[in-house]
Amino acid sequence: MTLRKTMVKDNPIYSICICNYNMAETIEQSLVSVLEQIDNRYEVLLLDDGSSDDSVSIVKGLQKKYHNLRLLALKRDRKRFLGETRNMSIREARGKYVILHVDTDDVWGPFIDDFVSVFHKLEDCMNKDFLLSGQQINLGRKDFLLSHGPYRNIYHTEDRDMWLRLASVDAYQPIQHVVFRDRLKRPTKTKIYRLLKDTIYHLINDMLTRDHPRKYVYFRLKNLFIKSEVHFLVSLVSFLAVIPCYFITKFMDPFPIPDNMKNGEFYPYREKENGTYSEIMERNSGSSDLSFLKPDAQAIFANK
């Protein structure tokens, strides 16, 4: 498939919304992997959330070469979490469609435009608005996501929370495909810090969605002694942090979730809706043919 170079840079159809905070070690390699595979139908909107490293200067340097890279540098606000930063990126997007969850510690294989083509085939077949949720990449219509989301102002589980709310109105479509991004290596110290931070926020956010958070505390305490696929360090941190996190939530507002998703209904919904491109099309009485994609992309979206 040949990319068309017909749109002017100020009028993109698609906005790739990327949020960054102190990722100078990887941001250039990550952005270049995206910018080298797109044309003027796309813009890359980089929202920097008040980085104290060289992230902003690196992006400004890249703008000299890539005219469709746009930077919005924010002042640091500790009350603003990743969810609200994602909302700001969607609101500032110039495109009709927004591509989300492209992170600055990943490098991307040349299949973003193919993911977009898959979305439009599904859109034509299903004849409704939805969020297409792939492997670390999501796509939906800007106005729809702002009206049916948006993200809550939370960190780490902001994506899962919005997926759940979209699922409650049958507007969340997961898709199976071969992962076409690779995570860049970061220092072990940085990875451990992020793991600890993510686990603690996961605990807090989980409790804020539950009617009976004490039962969740008991579940987490018990989980340390149950064999599972969860990394032992995550289980240990959860065990040590769950009670302090429980008391922290006493000073926070709960996150209400739709009644039809309160009792774990999201997971069977996701299992039922999930599938390859061909499986989703067949369920919706559409053509499962992938010949509209280039050969290597056909293998990606056939999940082979």
Contact between 135 and 303 (Cβ < 8 Å):
no
The fourth-level CATH superfamily of domain 14-182+274-301 is Spore Coat Polysaccharide Biosynthesis Protein SpsA; Chain A (3.90.550.10)
Cis peptide bond prior to 150, omega within 30° of 0: yes
pLDDT at 231: 64
- pLDDT digits over 128-160, tens only? 999 999 999 999 999 999 999 899 999 989 999
**Nearest-angstrom CA–CA distance, 60 and 199:** 33
The whole-angstrom separation of Cα 92 and Cα 185 is 30
Quote the pTM value. 0.89
What is the rounded distance in angstroms from the CA atom of residue 194 to the CA atom of residue 85? 18
- Counting as low any pLDDT under 50, the low residues of the chain are 1-8
For the chain, the domains span 14-182+274-301, 187-249
pLDDT tens readout for residues 4-51: 333 345 789 999 999 999 999 999 999 999 999 999 999 999 999 999
Q: Identify the pLDDT of residue 230.
A: 59
C-alpha triplet 36, 40, 42: angle, nearest 5°: 75
What pLDDT score does 217 carry? Answer: 85
Compute the distance between CA of residue 246 and CA of residue 209 in angstroms, rounded to an integer. Answer: 12
- Give the span between the Cα atoms of 106 and 185, in whole angstroms: 9
